[in-house]
DNA sequence: CTTGACTCCGTACATGAGTACGGAGTCTAT
DNA sequence: ATAGACTCCGTACTCATGTACGGAGTCAAG
């Protein structure tokens, strides 16, 4: 069982070595200590999963800063539960909002696909219909 | 009814003037022609909506390049329907996938919130559980 | 017809998120 | 014990996405 070196982690996570190191610098993943005997750092298996999570969260429009916050949410005895709870609820609001927006786009795309293949010119339907202007009810 | 100048558009869309101009340069929104009489450009009302859409799509993790593609999808007689349909379907796949990922995070947050307030130390539950490793079934 | 606010345009600067490079050390297989 | 592959670390470069600046032109009100 070969030790988990940085290149193994990177490969498992589907990123480059430099990216792993970049996330270490940013505090998104822990840099394991160098073994006292000297030599290469050895990574726990979770690091790969953690990086995968980071990448997916990025695809969902979270910044590394936000992802760091997400990752710091965990129920363990050491952290103040009420605080974690509150931050989790804030994040939950964000993702719920994003899901709603995304569903708007999904619906618009489905409508577009449905409208398209019929014959030539049905309605002109734009993706922008996906957004229901929230505040644009002001004239001027 | 005062003409829609660039600052009005920006305000309506909730961005700065420079951002509008930046999107014009990038081809994400059309730059209206300068009136032949000279003077300031006047913008159609849709520009504001369009920019709002751009910002929302960005929050959902789409790049400007991708958003440009999204915006170019529309069923109108001028464009090849089959082509539009195909591109729309690709995009639909992407957003559907994103929704699934986002729901994973949503569920994890809900679980976290539910686990938290009970007493002190219930399970340690990490957000990373949100991701079901797709390919990590390889050992080594 | 002048003043203050706004537009236009080009260019420069900023920030987030990597990516690349290079030299020195380490590990492993032959 | 040496070659080839890999690690470590610092620094520098890149690319996307804006933001800021500055000077010249324009507009509308007093």
Beta bridge partners of B28: none
Which range among A116-125, B25-34, B68-77 shows the weakest confidence by mean pLDDT? A116-125
CB-nearest partner of A99 from B73, B103, B131: B103
Phi, psi values for residue A68, rounded to 5°: -60, -40
Comparing CA positions, the residue from B79, B68, B75 lying closest to residue A109 is B75
First and final CA of chain B: distance in angstroms? 69
CB neighbours of residue B102 within 10 Å:
26
* Max CA separation in chain B (angstroms): 73
Burial class (CB in 10 A: 0-12, 13-18, 19+), A1: exposed
Q: Using one digit for the tens of pLDDT, what is the confidence trace for A93-114?
A: 999 999 999 999 999 999 888 8
Give dist(CA B14, CA B2) in Å, integer: 19
The tens digit of pLDDT for each residue in B5-46 reads: 999 999 999 999 999 999 999 999 999 999 888 899 999 999
**Spatial distance between the Cα atoms of A32 and A50, rounded to a whole number of angstroms:** 14
Average pLDDT of every residue of chain A: 87
What does pLDDT average to over chain B?
87
**Strand C nucleotides, any atom under 7 Å to a protein CB:** 6-10, 16-21, 26-28
The answer to whether A18 CB sits below 7 Å from nucleic acid chain C is: yes
What does the pLDDT read at residue B2? 75
**Where is pLDDT greater, at A82 or B32?**
B32
Contact A106 B126 (CB under 8 A): no
Give the CA-to-C1' distance from A74 to D13 in angstroms: 37
Report the sign of the C-alpha dihedral through residues A95, B106, A66, A82, in that order.
Answer: positive
Task: Give the per-residue pLDDT at A136.
Answer: 38
In this predicted structure, what is the pLDDT of residue A127?
87
How far: B18 CA to D20 C1' (Å)?
9
Alpha carbon distance A6, A40 (integer Å): 9
Q: Report pLDDT for A119.
A: 55
Is the CB of B111 less than 7 A from some atom of nucleic acid strand C? no
Of A81, A113, A121, the CB nearest to B88: A113
Closest listed residue to residue B72, CA positions, set B48, B90, B97: B90
Residues of A whose CB is below 8 A from B95: 102, 105-106, 109
CB of residue A44 closer than 7 A to nucleic acid strand C? no
For residues A3-16, give the mean pLDDT: 97
Spatial separation of the C-alpha atoms in residues B129 and B81, rounded to whole Å: 41
Domains with residue ranges and CATH for chain B: 1-58 (1.10.1660.10)
Distance separating alpha carbons of residues B66 and A82, to the nearest angstrom: 39
Are residues B106 and A95, on separate chains, in Cβ contact within 8 Å? yes
> What number is the average pLDDT over the span A6-11?
98
A64, pLDDT greater than 50:
yes
Task: Please judge whether B73 and A109 are an interchain contact, meaning their C-beta atoms are less than 8 angstroms apart.
Answer: yes
Distance C26 C1' – B31 CA (angstroms): 59
Do the beta carbons of residue A108 and residue A129 sit within 8 Å? Answer: yes
């Amino acid at each position: 069982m070969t030790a988990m070196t940085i290149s193994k982690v990177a490969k498992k996570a589907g990123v480059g070595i430099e990216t792993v190191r970049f996330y270490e610098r940013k505090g998104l993943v822990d840099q394991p200590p160098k073994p006292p005997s000297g030599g290469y750092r050895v990574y726990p298996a979770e690091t790969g999963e953690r990086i995968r999570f980071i990448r997916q969260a990025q695809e969902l429009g979270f910044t590394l800063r936000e992802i760091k916050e997400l990752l710091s949410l965990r129920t363990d005895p050491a952290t103040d539960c009420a605080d974690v709870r509150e931050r989790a609820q804030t994040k939950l609001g964000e993702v719920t909002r994003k899901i709603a927006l995304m569903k708007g786009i999904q619906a618009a795309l489905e409508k577009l696909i449905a409208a398209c293949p019929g014959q030539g010119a049905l309605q002109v339907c734009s993706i922008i219909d996906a957004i229901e202007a929230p505040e644009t009810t002001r004239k001027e």
